[in-house]
Structure 1
Amino acid sequence: MSDVRQFDSRPTAEVEAESPLAFSRSSLPVPTAHAPGVTLRERAFLGHLILRGGAIVLDEAVREVLGLGLPARPGALTVDDRGERSIQWLSPDEWLVIVPDGEAFSLEKRLRDALGDAHFAIVDASGGQTVIELSGPCAREALMKSTPYDVHPQHFPVGKGVTTVFAKATVILRRPFDDRWELVVRRSFADYCYRWLLDAAEEYGVTVES
């Protein structure tokens, strides 16, 4: 795929990048509950790649380059042992890959090289999305006030992720670990979802980590 132009969304530059929640964090008071029931944290500047194509050929390339297999079941989420890289099933021919800051550009190139002339598409969505993490004993309760999707552990176990309604926005809701939930949010919805979560979690005691 030598005729494809790639763009590094996080080049080394003097201008400091700002996360989607930079304004929210600087303009709103940071809550610091003594014994918080909900803890919020933005996992900013992660690499987000959307992969589309045939499952078999993509799975072979992803296993070769990333060491993870594509989730084959609807709503399945695969996370590496360190919890830093993940692949999520979005639709029958679409997956979301999230990797640490600085890895997306090189990962895209290695995937394109591994896929060769196969029929596929890779889109770097890193600049257009962010991840808001929820943890704490009342995180699920805060989600129950915010989404119509059933987040009971029997219906939403660890390793599941879905695209659903959150307040009046659309988000990807995922549960990578037993004690952690994540919202993959569009940049334009980030401030709205963050403010909503602060309000929804206030009764349980909420704090925000850097």
Structure 2
Amino acid sequence: MRIISRALITALGLSVAACGSTTANRSVYSERQPVVSKSNFVLDLSAGNGGLSTAEQNRLSGWLDALELGYGDRVSIDDPSYSASAVAKAAVDTIVADYGLLVSETAPVTEGNVPAGLMRVVVTRTSASVPGCPDFSHRSHTDFQARTSANYGCGTNGTLAAMIANPEDLVRGQGADGENQAQASKAIRAYRDKKVGGQ
């Protein structure tokens, strides 16, 4: 009986140790990272050969105001039947430009087909959050294995997710396409080549 009880205690001890070793986070990386989610908002507009009517332009402006369109949002036009005229698309460009944005050339795939004779304006918005933060579930837990707590990094990552202007930058960052690197480094070169005065 004594041997069986010792074996049982040893087995339980090994199982607990195994659980601790598989879930131990002894690095300085936080377990909970920012998660970026994307949502598409659509508005179908009647766009004939004469362009957008005043009523449709007011509809679009009111819709963009309700969405509080701003930096980080992406606006695109979905016109699979090519029924919208260039004048109508130019009117959308002008309205979107009032918000400090440009209309993207490619539109994302949205739910449902665009009805014939209509033009779909798509606003793509991304948001970042850190699910499960803060986590005080192990607040009073004493750890002798030097593991990082589940709440470690929640403050930093949560603040980053709340403050970042364009959450897509957390996924792929900003590209340098179309930028003139020689022009960008002009100020640095002028600073380095500057002669020190007073000598």
- TM tier relative to shorter chain: under 0.3
TM-score for the superposition, normalised by structure 1: 0.24
- Indicate the structure with greater helix content: 2
Question: Higher strand proportion, which one?
Answer: 1
